[in-house]
Every structure is written in C-alpha cells, then in structure tokens.
Structure 1
Amino acid sequence: MSQIIIIGAGITGVTTAYTLSKLGYEVTVVDRHLYPAMETSFANGGQLSACNAEVWNSAGTILKGLKWMLNRNAPLLVNPKPSWHKYSWMGEFVSNIAHYRENTIETTKLAIAARQHLFAMAEQENIQFDLERRGILHFYHDKAAFEAAGRTNALLVAGGLERFTVSPQEIREIEPTLQGEYFGGYFTPSDSTGDIHKFTRGLALACERRGVRFLQGMNVQTIDLSASAVRIGLQALDSATSPSANASAAYEIAGDALVVCAGVGSRHIAGMLGDRINVYPVKGYSITVHLDDADSVENAPWVSLLDESAKIVTSRLGNDRFRVAGTAEFNGQNRDIRADRIEPLVSWTRRNFRINTSRVVPWAGLRPMMPDMMPRVSKGRAPRVFYNTGHGHLGWTLSAATAATIGTTIAESYPVG
C-alpha cells in the first residue's frame, strides 16, 4: 500500500488525509501542535461562504487600505516596519489586479463544488459541528457601497452562485434581531455556517478510525527526497509526545509522497524542498460571545451576517454561542491578541444586537494568503512532493474541494499499490 505523509493537521491537512485514506492510501499526518485544528482552524468566522469568494486584488481594496492606515480601529491594519517578505508580497498582490475577474469567478465555482464534499464527509462520519444552513446575508449602509457590491455580485453569479438583492424591509424579515438602519443587501440562501474546530476534530477522529496515524507535537527538522522515498526527520516538542524512548533523539518517518498543508508554515517547508510558496500570514481576530441568559439567546441572530463597512462576519454556533470575526492585520508571524483589535468587535456586537457581552472569549489566527488569493493545489518541483495550501480567508470554505483535487493528482502520479 502506498504511504503518504501530510504536514499540517488543520482543516486542509485533515480533509486531505481523509480523502487519501478513502482512496486507499496509508496516511501519516505530522503537526507541531498536540492536537488537530489548533491554529487557523480553531476559531474562525465559521462561514462556509461562496458569497465571499471575491479575491482582494482590486484597486478598490488598495484605496480602502490607504484610507484605513491611519485608523487603529479600521478593518485593515499594516505594520509599517520594513519587511522584504511583506512588501514584496504586496507588490505581487498589486500585479494580480489584472486577474481579479477570472480569479473571483474560479474561486466561486470551487466554493460551490466544495459544499457537496464537506457535507458528504460530515454525513458519512456523523460529525456534529453546529451546522446552520440558513444562508448568509450581506448588508450595506449606503447607496455607494451597495452599488459597488452589485459589480462584485455579477461575478459571483457568473461563477454559478444563487444570490439576490434584498431591501431594508427584507433584511429585517431575514434576520429580525438586527438593530441598525441599512440601505440594502444581498442574500445567498445556499451558504451556511458551522464550527470549524468541531468539524476538523471530528474528521480527524474519523481518519484515525480509518487507520490514519497522527504524529502531534512534532517539529519538522529535515526532509530528504530520494528516487524511492520521502524521509522526514522529526523532533518532539514535548518529551511526553515523543514516540522514541529518548525524546532528544531524532525520529524519522518515510513515505512514498509528501503533501504540504502547513498553513502559514508552508513557505518555510516549501523552501526546504526547493519550491516557492509565497504565503503571507494575515492575522484575523474573532470573539465568541457566550449567550448565558434567555434574552441573549433570543436576541442573537441565527442567519449568518456580513457587515460590509466594518468587514465583520457572524455565525451562530449552537444555542449558546455567537461568533463575531473580522479584520486583516499585516504584522508577520505575530499571534498576539490585541485588546484594541478585539474592542471594535465587541462594540459592533453591542450596537447591532441586544445581547449580553459580559463573557467574551477573544482569539487571533493567521490566514495563509497567496498574493493572487488563489490556493496552491499542485505538484512540487521535485518528484513525490505536492501542495494543498494558501487558502487565505477561505480555507474552511474551499478545503474539501481542494482535498479532492490533490487526491486525484496524487493518484495519477502514485497509484495505490
């Protein structure tokens, strides 16, 4: 039986492991954390959102970014400290404005296709992850923003998405708990939400039942490629997790092929393999509001929302949790949770809903973004190397489809035998 090694136990790594296991491969997943889904797959906005498939490479995004740079509460924040990686990445980002239309349409198609794969995984393995299939509602505060959104909507529709305009009255009917005044909106009834952490952990357990081996708490030290195998040298980050008697000893695993699903770590791993995967870590923040009283349970929305002016998204996670997420921060590998970036999320929640915010849990994660906003799902330069990474803000949305794609690619190169 062919053996595949996957680096990364987030949403892309675990969906890839599950897909390859079902194809008949023997799979080993390596991750530096002690458990799956402990980084960007821990507490994101929760949206499975084809309606957010618009890539960010546009002149409008750049103009907004320049306007927001002097506002500490703005949705976008760039640390001006010089960094070759950051500014070269931004240069490539600008150069991809020319591909804005085609990449948005392609991403929309991929997001729509991903739904059937993800829902099939959840149904077959009986994974409970607070799934709500109530659609996603975008709302806009003024005419200019609403009309600009119409141009984006045309691309989403061209990609096959069912999405239609709604009036202020219809916004109230779709989600009665909203408290503000709005010019109009767009509603995507086929989109949904769920708890990415619950799903990923549930799918990881399903993988283990299928024989997938997880090596958690392991740091990749070396990667050796030969004509016949891939060999990876590992170091346990905690002696309690070491598979060897001597925790300080090098531990080596071997396989027929390697799939890199390492999120923001993919750039480093790719460099070890002679490839260039130009992922930049774009930080996002979320809060989980615990709905501890009956009024809060009643007044928190069930329909998933996106406030375009604030770039904030929401998801209802079961009866007693409400997730609010947003912001994009260019600040390197910094994972610090900043109070001044969390406060706007809490204030937005108070303005828009009559719910108690006395128990709020903050979180920050790093989105693995490519300059063209398109995931890398392909072979590497060297034989036996593959990539499924760089999904940016749509890892939760796209992962099940890209796992199917990379599974097909691997099967063509290294059939199960």
Structure 2
Amino acid sequence: MKVVVLGAGVIGVSSAWYLAQAGHEVTVIDRQPAPAMETSFANAGEVSPGYSAPWAAPGIPLKALKWLFQRHAPMIIPPRPDLAKLGWLAQMLGNCTAAAYGVNKARMVRLADYSRDCLIALRADTGISYDERMQGTLQLFRSQKQLDGAGKDIEVLRADGVPFEVLDRDACIAAEPGLAAARAQIVGGLRLPQDETGDCFKFTTALADLAAARGVVFRYGAGIVRLHAEAGRIVSVETTEGTVTADAFVVALGSHSPALVAPLGLRLPVYPVKGYSITLPIIDADRAPVSTVMDETYKIAITRLGDRIRVGGMAEIAGFDLSLSPRRRATLERSVGDLFPGAGDAARASFWCGLRPMTPDGTPVVGRTPLANLFLNTGHGTLGWTMAAGSGRVLADLVSGLAPEIDASDLGLARYQPRPRSGEARPRPVPVTG
C-alpha cells in the first residue's frame, strides 16, 4: 500500500520507519530542507515515560494565576487576544480535575512506556546512535511542599508498575554528583532509573537515513497546501511541488495539523505551546549532570548530551510566535546556574525555541479519523521524543489493519467527539469533497 506521511519531525519519521517495516511504500513530505528542523531540533533531550503527565492537573489554575506575576514562571500566557487560545485553555481547564488527571496520566504513561520498549528494540535492531544514555531521570524538589505534592504521581507509577525511587538530599547528590554545589537548595527527589536521554535531532536524522536506505522517499522543500477528499476518502495531497496520490495519508505536522484538517470538517484541539532551550558546551565534566535533572521549581529539564548540556522547558502560550525572548533565556540560565554552577559555558550557548503541539488533556492524537484513509499522529506536546517510537508503531499497526500491542482505543480523535445522549443515534461521518 502507498502511504504518504506529512511531516518529517521525530513523529513523522518514526511513523515512516514503522510503516516501511510493515511493508508499505512510504513517501514523507516536509517543507523544510531536512528532517527534524522544527520542534524536534533542540528539545530537552529526555525520554522519560514515568514523567509523562498532562499539564492539566489539579491546582494548575491557581498556580497559573501566581505565575502571571513571576519573573521566572514555567508557564507564560501573553494577554494578546486569540480565540483559538481561549478555546484551548477552556478545554485544558476542564481537564484540571483529579479524575481527569488520573485518566490522562495513566494513558500517557501507557503509551510512553510502550514507546521506550519500542526504542530499545529499534536501537538493538539498527545500532542507531544519538548521544544516548540510560541512566535515569531525577525530578528535583527544592521545597518540602513540592516533595509532598509528588504523591499523586507516585500512586500512578506504582499502579502502572513503573520502578521509582524517592530520594533524600544525599541520595540525590549520589545519583547526580554535580549537584553537590547546590546541596543547600535540595530537599529531595523522585528518580526513575529506567528513563533515558538522547539528542532528538540526531536520532531523527539518523532514522531518516536508515528509512531512506530501506526505500522510504523523502520529499523536502515541499510546502503542504491542502488535502483533497472525495466520497469520504483522501485522494491526494496538494503541495507546492505538485500533487501526490496514495492509498493512505498520515498527518504528523505537529502544531500545523489542525489547519490542514479543518477544511475536511475535523476539529483537532491541538495548540502550539512554545518551549525554549539553550545548549551549552561542557567546561567542567565533574560539575555537569550525568543524565537528566528536572528542576520542579521552573519546570525545566537539564540534560547531558555528549559534551553538551541541553537546558529546556517553559510553556509560552502565544500562538505561532517564534521570537526569542531574552527573559526566557535568563530563566534557563538561572536554573542550570543554580544547580550545576560552572558546568557549562553560558556565554557560548545557543538559544532556540520550538512550538510543541499540545492537546488539552496532554495525550497525543494517534489513530483513525472519520475519513477512511486519513490518520493522525500529532499533539504530543512536550513528550514527542518520549512517545515517538511507540506512536509510530501504533500508527503503523492501525494503517496496516492490525491490532496494536497496547490499547489505543482512547488515543484517537474520537475522544473529543461529543457522546450521544441515551437513545440518540450516533452521528455518521459525512462524505467530504475538496
């Protein structure tokens, strides 16, 4: 079967890889000149299934109000009017209940845990290399209140059988010796020993090369204009470089996915949430992190990538704005400077931002749509790198007509459709033409 994948970020390339492994003839289309040039380019570098959790959580509305007045806030909501932003925020607030948080986190951990297993198998099968490390992730708490607040996450980890360790100050430093200089700022931590780290850009580029060697065609520099549908099926995709036909189409365009499918009558609640990162060259390896340390105060991840330190985080809800804010850079530098002083050279750091495609409930949208041959693999938010391999494998199984190895029934777009009332018939998909 001929399958077109729209998007060459880590999600699109992973989808293409598993589709090719399943025997399909795959073409990937992207407007950029190479893979992983947008959101996948310089993310935080963590593959952390156990820390997969939605931003929508009990207490977040109150915290968000406090963050409005903080200089180094982890979430920033500029006051510019934006109807799409207001609608998305309203849906997110609706998920800030204990019940919704439990459901959303459990399914996110399910997909992320499966994704880690897929990544391990992929690495074993291909020998792919991407500055990977398998030395766990440490969520660092600077206050007793933060440590006590981890209880709800620990309950989910325990229920899902995810190994974890609750550490005191000395144990945190034993796991990450570079924290010794910040001893007075540490209360404790939550460590997940099975988590990994790695450079998402290097991974995606290497996987694209492997996929191309196995027959996947990559068409770069082709802007995606629109999808054409007839009788409830997609018949082609129009690009700036011509029209492409296929038997099935996969939308993996991150934050740009909603605009592409909206003319087809599909409402995809994915909104761009800007994240920032700096990448510092290491100047003192003994002071640098061993793996990933997540600074709970600023919601920032500090990750060792070879001879570099990647510092990434924050959530700026500002639409498609890609400007680089010096104030956000200052927050990143403050976090790494507090915890790992002297480890990296901030003066030589590169500064980057990317648009994370986030859903209101935190879970990505992976699966079928009402159009028979159109599939979605998008909305991974801050966890695209963590969930990439698993999402790609689930997507490939669904396109192939196979049952995925994990329950994927609650990952698709259908969960956002209104449920019919008792005795009311379920609406049928309306054929779309274009």
* Structures share fold, TM-score greater than 0.5: yes
Deviations 1:106-145 (A, max 9, x none): 1112111111211222332221100110000111111111
Q: Distance in 1 between matches of 2:331 and 2:55?
A: 22
Using the TM superposition, name which of 52-61 and 397-406 deviates more. Answer: 52-61
Q: Distance in 1 between matches of 2:217 and 2:189?
A: 46
Give the corresponding residue for 2:197.
193
With over 3 angstroms needed to count, the CA separation of the structure-2 counterparts of 1:21 and 1:183, relative to structure 1, is same
Q: Distance in 2 between matches of 1:59 and 1:175?
A: 30
The answer to whether the 8 Å contact 1:53/1:156 transfers is no
Deviations 1:27-79 (A, max 9, x none): 01011111100111000000000132121222312211110112232111101
The answer to whether the 8 Å contact 1:167/1:184 transfers is yes
The answer to whether the 8 Å contact 1:78/1:331 transfers is yes
The answer to whether the 8 Å contact 1:223/1:232 transfers is yes
Give the corresponding residue for 2:322.
335
Give the corresponding residue for 2:432.
none
Q: Distance in 2 between matches of 1:345 and 1:19?
A: 35
Give the corresponding residue for 2:79.
80
The answer to whether the 8 Å contact 1:267/1:278 transfers is yes
The answer to whether the 8 Å contact 2:234/2:371 transfers is no
Q: Distance in 1 between matches of 2:52 and 2:244?
A: 38
Secondary structure (helix, strand or coil) at the match of 1:231 reads: strand
Secondary structure (helix, strand or coil) at the match of 2:76 reads: strand
Secondary structure (helix, strand or coil) at the match of 1:118 reads: helix
- Map residues 340-379 of structure 1 onto 2, 5 A cutoff: 340-353=327-340, 354-355=342-343, 356-379=345-368
Measured after TM superposition, the shift of residue 230 of structure 1 is: 2.2
Question: Residue 208 in 1 paired to residue 212 in 2?
Answer: yes
Q: Distance in 2 between matches of 1:206 and 1:253?
A: 23
Using the TM superposition, name which of 131-140 and 175-184 deviates more. Answer: 175-184
Question: Residue 175 in 1 paired to residue 176 in 2?
Answer: yes
Q: Distance in 2 between matches of 1:168 and 1:84?
A: 45
The answer to whether the 8 Å contact 2:227/2:236 transfers is yes
Question: Residue 393 in 1 paired to residue 382 in 2?
Answer: yes
Secondary structure (helix, strand or coil) at the match of 2:27 reads: strand
Secondary structure (helix, strand or coil) at the match of 2:347 reads: coil
Question: Residue 156 in 1 paired to residue 157 in 2?
Answer: yes
In structure 2, the gaps of 5 or more residues are 403-434
Question: Residue 134 in 1 paired to residue 135 in 2?
Answer: yes
Give the corresponding residue for 2:244.
253
Give the corresponding residue for 1:283.
274
Give the corresponding residue for 1:240.
none
Measured after TM superposition, the shift of residue 156 of structure 1 is: 2.3
Q: Distance in 2 between matches of 1:57 and 1:159?
A: 20
Measured after TM superposition, the shift of residue 302 of structure 1 is: 1.1
In structure 1, the gaps of 5 or more residues are 237-250
Secondary structure (helix, strand or coil) at the match of 2:401 reads: helix
Using the TM superposition, name which of 86-95 and 176-185 deviates more. Answer: 176-185
Measured after TM superposition, the shift of residue 223 of structure 1 is: 1.6
Measured after TM superposition, the shift of residue 265 of structure 1 is: 0.6
The answer to whether the 8 Å contact 2:276/2:351 transfers is yes
Q: Distance in 1 between matches of 2:211 and 2:7?
A: 14
The answer to whether the 8 Å contact 2:50/2:113 transfers is no
Measured after TM superposition, the shift of residue 300 of structure 1 is: 0.9
The answer to whether the 8 Å contact 2:295/2:335 transfers is no
Secondary structure (helix, strand or coil) at the match of 2:353 reads: strand
The answer to whether the 8 Å contact 1:104/1:156 transfers is no
AA at the equivalent of 2:124: E
The answer to whether the 8 Å contact 1:285/1:365 transfers is yes
Measured after TM superposition, the shift of residue 229 of structure 1 is: 6.0
Deviations 1:209-252 (A, max 9, x none): 0111111111112321236862111104xxxxxxxxxxxxxx11
The answer to whether the 8 Å contact 1:374/1:390 transfers is yes
Deviations 1:79-125 (A, max 9, x none): 11111100110111111234110111111121111112112223322
Give the corresponding residue for 1:241.
none
One of 286, 293, 305 as aligned partner of 1:298: 286
Q: Distance in 1 between matches of 2:150 and 2:128?
A: 35
Normalising by structure 1, report the TM-score: 0.92
Measured after TM superposition, the shift of residue 363 of structure 1 is: 0.6
Q: Please tell me the root mean square deviation across aligned C-alpha atoms, in Å.
A: 1.4
Give the corresponding residue for 1:239.
none
Q: Distance in 1 between matches of 2:115 and 2:318?
A: 30
The answer to whether the 8 Å contact 2:18/2:396 transfers is yes
The answer to whether the 8 Å contact 1:89/1:280 transfers is yes
Using the TM superposition, name which of 299-308 and 24-33 deviates more. Answer: 299-308
Query: Paired residues, what number?
Result: 394
Give the corresponding residue for 1:52.
51
AA at the equivalent of 1:260: V
Q: Distance in 2 between matches of 1:40 and 1:122?
A: 22
Measured after TM superposition, the shift of residue 334 of structure 1 is: 0.6
